[in-house]
Homo-oligomer: A and B are copies of this chain.
C-alpha cells in the first residue's frame, strides 16, 4: 500500500528554510507570506488493510520520519 507522509514544522517553531524561501521569492518579485518548508515522504508499506498500514506508518513517524517535538505529520494512503 502506497503511503504519503507530510512532515511540517509545528506552528511557532522557527523555520529558517521557510524564511529563506520567502525572502528569495520576494526578491524575485512574488508577493508571498508565511512560507514554511517541510518534507514529503512517499513509501510502499506492507500491510493487510488500510488501518494496519496507517498504524504502521504512524509508528514510523514517531520513531524516525518526524521529530514530534518540533514537527507535525499527516498521513495519507493510496491503494
Contacts and interface: CB of A to CB of B under 8 A. Distances in A.
Contacts of A34: 42-44
Q: On chain A, which size bracket covers the interface?
A: 20 to 34
B32 A44 contact: yes
A42 B17 CA distance: 12
29 contacts: A6-B6, A6-B40, A8-B40, A8-B42, A18-B41, A21-B43, A28-B60, A28-B64, A30-B59, A30-B60, A31-B45, A31-B46, A32-B44, A32-B46, A32-B60, A33-B44, A34-B43, A35-B42, A35-B43, A35-B44, A37-B39, A37-B40, A37-B41, A37-B42, A38-B39, A38-B41, A38-B42, A39-B39, A39-B40
